[in-house]
Amino acid sequence: MDFFKELYNGDIYLAEEIAVDIAGDPKYKELSAKLSDAASQAENADDATQRIVRRYREAFEELISLHELHAFKIGFIRGVELRQAISKTNEPSV
């Protein structure tokens, strides 16, 4: 299936591609282990600390989602710019 057909049909889901691509990165594994360790410690903390950690985690996740949304939007903008640049190079010269 060609790229445009996949895009039109909604078969391209970058979040899944990123998850597969990043899973083998040693830095990702290291950071995931740190997060897991911190989450375990937070579960054993007192209620006040757990509430703070939960508020922090929720805000952080929203912030990451916002970054991802803007990265996605900018990617499309850059794609349009690329398409326009390609079209200009293919125009016949006068």
Residue 54 domain flag: yes
Average pLDDT score over residue span 45-57 = 91
The answer to whether the beta carbons of residues 14 and 21 sit under 8 Å apart is no
Count of domains observed in the chain: 1
Q: Domain for residue 44, yes or no?
A: yes
The per-residue pLDDT for 92 is 66
Answer yes or no: is 94 within a domain: no
Give the model's pLDDT for residue 7: 74
- What pLDDT does 1 receive? 58
The answer to whether 28 touches 22, Cβ cutoff 8 Å, is: yes
59 pLDDT above the threshold of 90 = yes
Q: What percent of the chain has pLDDT over 70?
A: 95
Q: How far apart are CA 94 and CA 84, in angstroms?
A: 19
Residue 51 CB burial class (10 angstroms; 0-12, 13-18, ≥19) = exposed
Q: Which domain holds residue 43?
A: 3-89
> What integer pLDDT is reported at residue 94 of this predicted model?
59
- In the 8-state DSSP scheme, what is residue 93? P
